[in-house]
Amino acid sequence: MSSPLLSVRDIRKRFDALAVLNGMSIELDAGAVKCIIGPNGCGKSTFFNILTGVLKADAGRIEFAGERVERFAPARIAGRGMLRKFQVPGVFPGLSVLENLEVAQLGRAGGGVGSCLSGAPRFDYRGALRDAGLEAHGGTAADQLPHGLKQRLELLMLVSRGPRLLLLDEPTAGMTTQETAEVAKLIRRLSSEHGVAVLVIEHDMHFVRALACPVVVMLKGVVQREGQYEEVRQDAQVRAAYLGEAA
């Protein structure tokens, strides 16, 4: 049996007297998708900050692609293939959709411009634009796109860099129900076609259901429950603590 791509063990973090993470542990296989849910203040964003090296854990162990990374700087972790998307789309507003993807390609596999000159496999722009519903917008300036399409563009930009793992922080914030369903479909497709593992923080339970992936429930800085959506949804303790009427 192969080792997981990401293995997190007993991560702990305090800010003065406030304990935010109290033994957070999680595993994610290569190419898999998993969603983390939990109430505000349960430690989700702090956990992502520690994974990406923005914050350092007080204790615990993080292995990524067989390497201990909990003391690595953010740039070094990103260079290993762990990339993060925030809620606000991080696109280049003055460039076209296609130009955004071309610029993102320069960071593929940590190789910079050299990766484009060395014969490294290039990203299939046209196919990706088609999959994301952006095929007709290749020449459109990114700042002219509606919010939902900007979010999809940034997903393509990240995948074009050849990551092993994407961390997505509420990728459907501000989207309509239809846009949310389309983004869930795109994430599943990108993960399947490019072999990218995806770890998502999300509050929108319709999106979580549409992802059709294992769900991790965080409460008070630790995993309370893990299972498929329907299993988690029916857990009385989880419903009382978080889901409520959203289930």
In a domain, 173, yes or no: yes
Q: What is the pLDDT of residue 131?
A: 87
pLDDT-derived band at 150 (thresholds 50, 70, 90) equals very high
Q: What is the pLDDT of residue 242?
A: 64
Query: Total domain count for the chain?
Result: 1
> 75 is written with which tokens?
């740039």
Q: What angle do CA 80, 84, 87 make, to 5 degrees?
A: 175
In a domain, 1, yes or no: no
Structural domain range at position 67: 6-246
Residue type for position 139: G
Virtual CA dihedral for 135, 137, 142, 146, nearest 10 degrees? -90
| CATH number of the domain residue 34 falls in | 3.40.50.300
pLDDT-derived band at 188 (thresholds 50, 70, 90) equals very high
pLDDT-derived band at 246 (thresholds 50, 70, 90) equals very low
Question: Does the pLDDT at position 119 exceed 90?
Answer: no
For tokens 């305090």, name the residue: 14
* H or E element in which residue 62 lies: strand 59-64
Count, residues in the chain:
247
> 126 is written with which tokens?
């046209």
Which pLDDT tens digit goes with each residue over 37-54?
A: 998 889 999 999 999 999
**Weakest mean pLDDT among 46-55, 124-133, 145-154, 238-247:** 238-247
Percent of the chain with pLDDT over 90: 74
pLDDT-derived band at 239 (thresholds 50, 70, 90) equals confident
Question: Does the pLDDT at position 203 exceed 70?
Answer: yes
- Rg over alpha carbons for the chain, rounded to the nearest Å, is 18
Question: Does the pLDDT at position 116 exceed 50?
Answer: no
In a domain, 180, yes or no: yes
Q: How many helices and strands, by DSSP H and E, does the chain display?
A: 10, 10
Q: With the C-alpha atoms ordered 1, 22, 187, 153, is the resulting torsion angle positive or negative?
A: negative
Q: For the residues 171-176, what does the mean pLDDT come to? A: 90
**Weakest mean pLDDT among 30-39, 126-135, 196-205, 210-219:** 126-135
Q: For the residues 84-108, what does the mean pLDDT come to? A: 88
Q: For the residues 198-218, what does the mean pLDDT come to? A: 94
Q: What is the pLDDT of residue 127?
A: 85
CA 95 distance to own-chain centroid: 24
Q: What is the pLDDT of residue 114?
A: 43
pLDDT-derived band at 243 (thresholds 50, 70, 90) equals low
Q: For the residues 112-130, what does the mean pLDDT come to? A: 63
Q: What is the pLDDT of residue 20?
A: 97
In a domain, 214, yes or no: yes
> 165 is written with which tokens?
């793992």
Q: For the residues 47-63, what does the mean pLDDT come to? A: 98
Its pTM stands at 0.90
31, 66, 178, 206, 223 from 210: Cα distances, Å: 18, 31, 11, 6, 22
In a domain, 33, yes or no: yes
Mean pLDDT computed over every residue of the chain:
89
In eight-state DSSP terms, residue 237 is: H
In a domain, 87, yes or no: yes
In a domain, 97, yes or no: yes
